[in-house]
Copies of this chain bind each other. A is one copy, B any other.
Amino acid sequence: MATPLTVKTLVLKPKTAKSAAVTPVMIVALDETSTNLTALAKHLNLKEMRFANEDLLQSFFQVNKDEVSPFVLGNTPKDQLANVILVLDAAVAKLSTSETPLSFNAPGFTAPVLSTAPALLEFFRNLPLAYKEVDFSTMAPAAAPGPAKASAAPAAKKAAAAAPKPKPEAVVGSAQLGVEVSKDADFSKWYQQVLVRSEMLDYYDVSGCYIIRPWAYFVWKMVQRFFGDGIEQMGIDDTYFPMFVSSKVLDREKDHIEGFAPEVAWVTKAGSSDLEEPIAVRPTSETVMYPYFAKWIRSHRDLPLRINQWCNVVRWEFKHPMPFIRTREFLWQEGHTAHLTHEGAAEEVLEILDLYRRVYEELLAVPVVPGMKSEKEKFAGGQYTTTVEGFIPATGRGIQGGTSHHLGQNFSKMFNVVVEDPAAGNEDRGTEGGEAQKLHVWQNSWGLSTRVIGVMVMVHGDDKGLVMPPRVAQIQAVVIPCGLTVKSTAADRAAVEEGVKKVVATLTRAGVRAKADLRENYTPGYKFNHWELRGVPLRLEVGPNDLKNASTMSVRRDTGAKRSIAVADLPTELPSLLETIQADMLQRAKAARQASTKTVTQWEDFVPALNRKCVVLIPWCERTACEDDIKDRSARTTTDTDEPEDEKAPSMGAKSLCIPFDQPTEPKLVPGETKCVACGELAKRYALFGRSY
């Protein structure tokens, strides 16, 4: 493949009257083209062009300076687009029939993506906007760009410069090799890069929606199998309700729906006809299902009724989206059950919560804290919410991992889900028209979403990329031929390849998900990086020396530890090594969590602990007013510009994550005596507070 040509995208703001609309100039040019801006301004009959500042880039194109590319025009509102002056370097236009790859920035991508001039031109032609072709070669070489200030750095220049020139051996896809930022330095960028470059996820042209690629979807499949088996054993059946909800039904439970209403997506048209009534896309299914509970539950003998569905739901949040963590469409399971007694429901709430804990701890090697949500944080319309709370050491923020709600009788009263009380005597003797003793059923709902994948990535990933827990890795061991040189004979190569295949076959028989990487045009080093980026738990190297010794060199992704293993021992050693890795990953994550969990007994230590990226355990009064107050008092007052912008926690005040079931014993909380750390009223229990997602 031809070496890609880097394309720069410059955005400039010509001087206009203060009252006039801003008319940004976007220049799309080869990096090597010398763009004389003064000459260009003259050519376009514009005054003094300065590089656009971040504000303009954000308000016009919704991107930051590292993301500027011609492709942002595809997402620019039409009325704004009309004001953009688009300039195309004639040197690019000249490539209109060439397949030479062009390297661009692109929104959502932290590394250049490749395209071609024909594709770019087609994209331009489809915009409601004419571009001007400019031949910069006929203009004098550029001087320093106008009177630009430090704060108005060239939009794409920096990124273009940072993009490594593809090396000859790096064949295709080179732009996406490796993670370029460290997890500590820029967590948000690291997270995006890891997801995209490990091929877990791709960005999509509908904001807040993402493509879950096979490498990530496999994790979800493992979660589905584990949790699916768990609830099947509990006697819970899978079902599927329509994703469309009539507005009548959606609005039925006011308290409940209030929380979702601003985020509901509405279908109003089919083909070219307007629907008679708009139809909602489910944000969750309580109001969808419970009218049918009322219909299906005719007697206490129909209880418990327990169903679950795996489906997509839509919550059209206007907050900053984040792959897996906060997305407009996501996949989840939602369980909905009805019970005769409060206790029957309460028992199930905890059984399910424990399955959630096990999904995190046993599959994803992520420790979680099971506990109770505060009144403020519980599911609206329910009686209480239990949760498993995760923690991201890199940002010091808590994250809700999955919730299991006891709904009490709120919904059953709303939807009239009643049975006659079996304790009130023989129900069959109820006299006609008489008032039999009726009883509203007790309900639960519980859900776990694809968010689990994001949490797993955030907790385990490192500067080389993903680190996959073996139990959810689609490939658990990759086997790579090594030690071949230019001096190696064809027979050497064939023998090594044979050895690799044999190892894979042995592992497959032993139940290990193994893969050979026999690609010829890549070096072992390239392959090491490739699989490290994807987090494959074990790498096995097979070279001429290994063959001689009938052994293979194993390298752990999590620790880098190397160990030679006899081929004969692989069927026993490998599965056990994978289990060791799984256990070690959980232990390390537990230790990291523990190190960042501080028990605090005076308010003065609260915010400093948060600022040291910790979550905080305090004796707490459990009052909502106190929780509100804590949030206010723990908000940062100075703007920390390194922190990724997140509107969900704009001021990053702490909220209660949960009241852990496993309460600290030291220092002892004495009821009626110990005071709430935040407000001085009497404390009830320890609560875990933290900044959070």
- A contacts, CB < 8 Å to B: 1-3, 74, 77-78, 95, 97-100, 113-114, 118-119, 126, 168, 171-173, 202, 204-206, 209-214, 217-218, 220-221, 237-246, 248-249, 261-272, 276, 278-279, 281, 292, 295, 298-299, 301, 307, 311-312, 316, 318, 328-329, 331, 416, 418, 420, 427-428, 430-436, 438, 474, 519, 521
Contact = CB atoms under 8 A, between A and B. Distances in A.
20 contacts: A1-B299, A1-B427, A2-B436, A3-B432, A74-B248, A98-B434, A99-B435, A172-B298, A206-B242, A211-B292, A214-B238, A217-B238, A217-B239, A217-B240, A218-B238, A244-B328, A244-B329, A264-B270, A267-B268, A312-B312
A404 to B, nearest CB: 21
Given A204-B241, A214-B307, 6 more contacts: A97-B435, A98-B433, A202-B292, A214-B239, A244-B328, A265-B269
Contact of A209 (B205, B214, B244): B244
A271 B262 contact: yes
A206 B316 contact: no
A311 B240 CA distance: 11
Contact of A237 (B217, B240, B329): B217
Contacts of A430: 1-2
Which A-B residue pairs are the 4 nearest by beta carbons?
A: A214-B237, A270-B316, A209-B242, A172-B298
Nearest to A310: B310
B433 A299 contact: no
A2 B206 contact: no
A141 B126 CA distance: 75
Contact of A249 (B205, B266, B312, B474): B205
Contacts of A268: 266-269
A366 to B, nearest CB: 21
A34 to B, nearest CB: 20
A608 to B, nearest CB: 39
Contacts of A301: 172, 519, 521
Contacts of A428: 1, 168, 171, 521
Contacts of A246: 205-206
Given A237-B218, A244-B206, A329-B242, A270 B266 contact: yes
A261 B271 contact: yes
Nearest to A209: B242
